[in-house]
Structure 1
Amino acid sequence: MLQVVWFKRDLRLEDHAALCAAAIRDRILPLVIVEPDYWRQPDVSARQWNFWRACITDLGEAIAAKGGRLCIRVGDAVSVLSAIKAEHGPFVLRAHEETGNEWTFDRDKAVRRWCKTEGIAFEENRQFGVWRGRKVNRDRWAQAWDRMMAMPAQPVPPLLMWERSVTDNLPDAAELGLTEDGVQVVPLAGRAQALATLHSFLHERGEHYTREMSSPLSGETACSRLSWHLAYGSLSIRETLQAAQARYRELPLSEKAWRQSLRSFIARLHWHCHFIQKLESEPEAEYRPMARIYDGLRPRPADAAKLAAWSEGRTGYPFIDAAMRYLNATGWINFRMRAMLMSFASYDLWLHWQESGLVLARKFIDYEPGIHWPQCQMQAGETGINTIRIYSPVKQGYDQDPTGVFIRRWLPELADVPDAWLHEPWKLTEEDRERLCPDYPDRIVDHAAAAKFAKDAIYALRRKPEARAEAKAVVQKHGSRKRTADRKRAGVKADQLKLAL
């Protein structure tokens, strides 16, 4: 029987369980469904589509090189599958499990209902170390992850028998109703680029990953830069992990910096799936705090003027604004800056994490819902279990950009401000501000006062008995069971996976 392999966020032929399962059974119809309704959701953007589109094109070329043709259909999934059934008769539908946003979750449930009604078998394979459902036992989760990641990565099947079908043209962003959003640096997509990026990180760029990943200056090259390739599946987590492990094993003991950096990177691959498991086990985490006592802590709707100032990089805090403008222009920024931006929105501006989270989701080309939403909650202090981390924008600036190279690059209106005042331009005299940076705004809030207000509000809730009871339940459902010693060796804390690898 015809095997329809539905590619979603797994745009590769290598280490593709659904493709391998199909290849040993019958002819394969490789399918990508472009769903216009998905691209109307509030967490997606043109920059994401443009990267995804390039990955789809690359997948089509890989299939063509193997003698097939990728079938692209534009429409809702159920209608597309109904049309394929009408054209080709009954089939088996195969795909990887997906932990996406609420829209994709509902879409997959609708597909399962249709398959049941039509007598179509829908077989899903696990793509990485995330287990389906709400009742995953975290006590054994890490060991199960280790076992899956230790299994050999599956090569492209040697025999691929293709079925051809009518295909649509890939739409551009405008055809999907997406407005170009000012991204200036378009990352190269596709399998070859993913492999080249992985190789350059493991053999050239990653030696000082542990030491250099925090600054937006050094992190631009020291970070792996694999996050968008993993998000769209040009690489699998297992391939990436096994390549890092192989590189680690071949390093001599004298290469201490390399070995420490690879241990840290390997730990973060584990945390990738740990966070996605949170959203899989509790889909409501996209829009409700894991600890329900925090419902209503921050006002909704958020202050529109503050949200816009933060989103556009005009808060009056130079390091915050430079980081945001860098993200706006590139679609990526390193982990500490993501945490800092979310911290500033959550504590200094007291914005609801979902509203600021939606803004960031659209900016991140590597948006991965299962990492993004638990991280937004964590950085906002609404999980009930994680340490409250309020980043000082001035201290972060001095620590990560002491001479102001990054600030001046992204805030040209501050180019003439001396180093002594660059991180705190509000300390300039009124006359000097008018002379040196007349177009830069005043700071939107006082950080010290805002941080005190936020701490007081959150700790007032945390002291309540019901908050402590909820925290225990959150730990039981979502907490890591990885041993403290393992985390120390890896150089990370249990709640410190950052948003980008």
Structure 2
Amino acid sequence: MNSGPIPQVVWFKRDLRLQDHAALHSAALAGPVVALVIVEPAYWRGPDTSGRQWRFWRACMADLAEAIARRGGRLCLRVGDAVAELEALRRDIGAFALWAHEETGNGFTFARDRAVRHWARGQGIPFVELRQFGVIRGRGLNRDHWAAAWDAMMEQPLLPVPPVIWRTAPGRDALPGAAALGLSSDEAEASAAAGRDAALAALESFLFERGEHYTSAMSSPLSAPDACSRLSWHLAYGSVSMREVWQAARNRYAALPREARHWRAALRSFMARLHWHCHFIQKLESEPEAEFRPFARRYEGLRPPSDPARLAAWAQGRTGYPFLDAVMRALQATGWATFRMRAMLMSFAAYDLWLPWQEAGLVLARAFIDYEPGIHWPQCQMQAGETGINTVRIYSPVKQGMDQDPEGRFIRAWVPELARVPGAWLHALDRMDGSQRQALCPDYPLPIVDHGAAARAAHQAIAALRRTREARAEADSVQQRHGSRKRSTARRGEGRSSARTVGKKDMPQMQLDL
């Protein structure tokens, strides 16, 4: 009879690293480790996944496999349903303990993890899930203590790569390609930026070279690609841990002289957004239905089913609003956009086009390489005005273009149909008469809606609902479940306020909701 320790299977999902990895660290102390990854075709056939996400995840996984191989191990690759593959692994290697990080994913991963826990209980398999973000598992969270718990976790020492006794297990030799999973090819190609080394290089360059003007440069699509950290996809796939990033930023801030005013402001802003990252994921963790239903149920049915023609025009960057179309086309081509631009895109879909945030949100989810469900879905309904507690903000695509791309350089780069339009008309195509438009930009569409009229209609519909007694009562419940406790509702903007169209000066970069 084998009296040695049973294998410790570490299931890597969206935590594709060895450093500061709680599940790996604990498993290595308990016995020989099997490093497991399961490619789930059913997940990749979902409506919110895309080939660009697969390529990035695949590149991160290949990087992880190489890191394990350098330490004498071998990644066990399985392809199929998670429960079926775990059961097959049990038949192959016998009893084992299963370790993983807690995941706040989409509806598919939520149901899958419940199925795995049910299977593990039935088979007598210990299944231990450990935190990797400042997110607390389960419903019924008391938000009064959440911020302090987040701070405490971020201050814990980083976990080193433990000494591991690797155990091999049967699996496939290579990761499948996108076509094998039924994923279509798309234009975005960012896999060269994937993996641990790329994550650390981005963090280093941001903290010491690129980030000095982060606060002022993060909004414009002209300056944001360099000024922003560009760590969002690395955090989404776990090639670097949140705690690593937090502590690196904190240490850099502590070392700065007081006269480094821009750097200090930039890092304060950046660290606040790390906190914000987990604050929003916590919303979906505490209420998984938020992927499909508004936090404030009174808003269900507010918008009719999507108009396919309007949805397609918006998704393709063919709305007739140059700056908005440029942002959408750049996103579709690169897989990334700055926060303000993401908010503007959702605002236009939800208010100007009056599309359901669930349907517009799927378009954006597939486009974002850094798609993080816990951030994405609460943000979608917040930008659509359906949380019941956040200030409704309707972006003017013309005003945003004048503020963020005054010379039209970004527009001309992504909307070549407008290359010949003089600068004076670029943000106001309605100043041209029909003959001028035919001569200068015959292939560019007329505005799909009148922004002013659409904004007023959206304002009236949402304001009327918010004035009802039932909506006010429900807002109090949403605030209790998901609202911040650090600042007053009035200062935070999480109150029941009227809708308005915002420009640059009266809109902070994001509703931090800390």
Aligned to 2:37: 32
| In the alignment, structure 1 residue 440 sits paired with structure 2 residue 455 | no
Counterpart of 2:249?
Answer: 244
2:56–2:194 contact (8 Å) kept in structure 1: yes
In structure 1, what residue type is equivalent to 2:208?
H
Change (3 A) 1:492 1:316: closer
Partners of 1:194 and 1:229 within 8 A in 2: yes
- Alignment of 1:181 with 2:193, yes or no, is no
Aligned pairs (5 A) from 1:15-414: 15-157=20-162, 159-168=163-172, 169-183=174-188, 186-300=191-305, 302-414=306-418
Residue 496 (structure 1) aligns with: 511
Question: Where does the alignment leave 5 or more consecutive residues of structure 2 unmatched?
Answer: 1-5, 493-505
Does structure 2 retain, via aligned residues, the 8 Å contact 1:342–1:356?
Answer: yes
Return closer, same or farther for 1:217/1:484 CA change in 2, 3 Å cut-off.
farther
TM-score by length of 1: 0.97
Q: Is the 8 A contact 1:72 1:167 kept in 2?
A: yes
How many Å apart are 1:457 and its aligned residue? Answer: 0.3
Cα 1:367–1:296 change in 2 (3 A) is same
Q: Which amino acid aligns with 1:299?
A: P
Deviation of 1:22 (Å):
0.6
Letter in 2 for 1:388: V
The counterpart of 1:456, out of the listed 460, 485, 489, is 460
- Structure 2 residue aligned with 1:420: 424
Deviation at 1:128, TM superposition (A): 1.1
Number of aligned pairs? 493
Alpha-carbon distance between aligned partners in 2 of 1:95 and 1:416, rounded to the nearest angstrom: 55
| Structure 1 consecutive aligned stretches of length 4 or more whose deviation exceeds 3 Å | 184-187, 491-495
Q: Give the partner amino acid of 2:298.
A: I
Partner SS for 2:119: helix
Following the alignment from structure 2 to structure 1, what is the Cα–Cα distance between the partners of residues 322 and 293? 32
Cα offset for 1:385? Answer: 0.4
Once the two structures are TM-superposed, the CA of residue 496 in structure 1 deviates from its matched residue by 1.1
The alpha-carbon distance between structure 1 residues 119 and 352, as it changes in their structure 2 partners (threshold 3 A), is: same
Deviation, 1:25, is 1.0
Query: Equivalents in 2 of 1:401, 1:111: separation in Å?
Result: 49
The answer to whether the 8 Å contact 1:185/1:329 transfers is no
- Residue identity matched to 2:387: T
8 Å contact 1:291–1:383 — kept in the other structure?
yes
Letter in 2 for 1:117: G
What is the CA–CA distance in structure 2 between the aligned matches of 1:271 and 1:27, rounded to whole Å? 37
Deviation at 1:167, TM superposition (A): 2.1
Does the CA contact (< 8 Å) of 2:220 and 2:338 recur in 1? yes
Cα distance, 1:493 vs. partner?
A: 6.9
Residue 94 of structure 1 aligns to a residue whose secondary structure is strand
SS in 2 for 1:31: strand
Q: TM-score, normalised by structure 2?
A: 0.94
For residues 462-499 of structure 1, the C-alpha deviation after alignment (integer angstroms, 9 at most, x for no partner) is 000000000000000000112369x99xx99797149x
Per-residue deviation at 1:418? 0.5
Alpha-carbon distance in structure 1 between the residues aligned to 2:512 and 2:330: 21
One-letter amino acid of the structure 2 residue matched with residue 154 of structure 1: L
Aligned to 2:11: 6
Give the whole-Å Cα distance in 1 for the aligned partners of 2:475 and 2:102: 29
Partner Cα distance (1:235, 1:87) in 2: 32
Deviation at 1:187, TM superposition (A): 4.7
CA deviation digits over 1:79-118, x for unaligned, max 9?
Answer: 1111111011100000000000011000001001110110
What is the root-mean-square deviation of aligned Cα atoms in Å? Answer: 1.6
In 1, Cα distance between equivalents of 2:169 and 2:117: 23
* Structure 2 letter corresponding to 1:152: P
Q: Percent identity?
A: 67
Q: Distance in 2 between matches of 1:250 and 1:167?
A: 47
- The CA deviation string for residues 189-233 of structure 1, in whole angstroms up to 9 with x for no partner, is 000000000000000000000000000000010011000000000
**1:438 is paired with a residue of what secondary structure?**
coil
The letter of the residue matching 2:454 is A
Q: Deviations over 1:6-34 (max 9, x none)?
A: 00000000000000001111000000000
The 1:186–1:33 alpha-carbon spacing in structure 2 relative to 1, beyond 3 Å, is: closer
Alpha carbons of structure 1 residues 394 and 331: separation in structure 2 relative to 1, 3 Å: same
SS of the residue 1:450 aligns to: helix
Using the TM superposition, give the Cα deviation of residue 150 of structure 1 relative to its aligned residue in structure 2, in angstroms: 0.5
CA distance in 1, matches of 2:197, 2:512: 27
The answer to whether the Cα contact below 8 Å between 1:426 and 1:443 also exists between their aligned partners in 2 is no
Q: CA deviation digits over 1:13-71, x for unaligned, max 9?
A: 00000000011110000000000000111000000000000000000000001110011
Query: Which has the larger displacement, 418-427 or 101-110?
Result: 418-427
> Contact 1:279/1:286 (CA < 8 Å) preserved in 2?
yes
Q: Distance in 2 between matches of 1:240 and 1:111?
A: 31
Q: Deviations over 1:144-189 (max 9, x none)?
A: 11001110111101x2100111221200100000001222555510
Task: Report if aligned partners of 1:47, 1:365 keep a CA contact under 8 Å in 2.
Answer: yes
Q: Give the secondary structure class of the aligned counterpart of 2:460.
A: helix
Q: 1:311 touches 1:324 (CA, 8 Å); kept in 2?
A: yes
- 1:497 to 1:131, Cα distance in 2 relative to 1, 3 A: same
**Distance (Å, rounded) in 1 between the aligned partners of 2:8 and 2:191:** 35
Mapped to 2, the partners of 1:110 and 1:478 lie a distance apart of: 27
Change over 3 Å in CA distance of 1:492–1:482 after alignment to 2: farther
Mapped partners of 1:48, 1:482: distance in 2:
35
| Cα separation, 1, equivalents of 2:312 and 2:186 | 14
Q: Distance in 2 between matches of 1:494 and 1:285?
A: 24
Instruction: Indicate conservation of the 8 Å contact 1:264/1:492, yes or no.
Output: no
Q: Any idea what SS the aligned residue of 1:37 has?
A: helix
C-alpha distance in structure 1 between counterparts of 2:104 and 2:409, whole Å: 39
Cα offsets for 1:316-337 (capped at 9, x unmatched): 0000000000000000010100
Q: For 2:234 and 2:224, locate their aligned partners in 1 and report how far apart those are by CA, in whole Å.
A: 17
After TM superposition, give the deviation of residue 426 of structure 1 in Å: 2.6
CA distance in 2, matches of 1:346, 1:155: 45
> Partner letter of residue 511 of structure 2?
Q
Q: In 2, distance between residues paired with 1:185 and 1:19?
A: 27
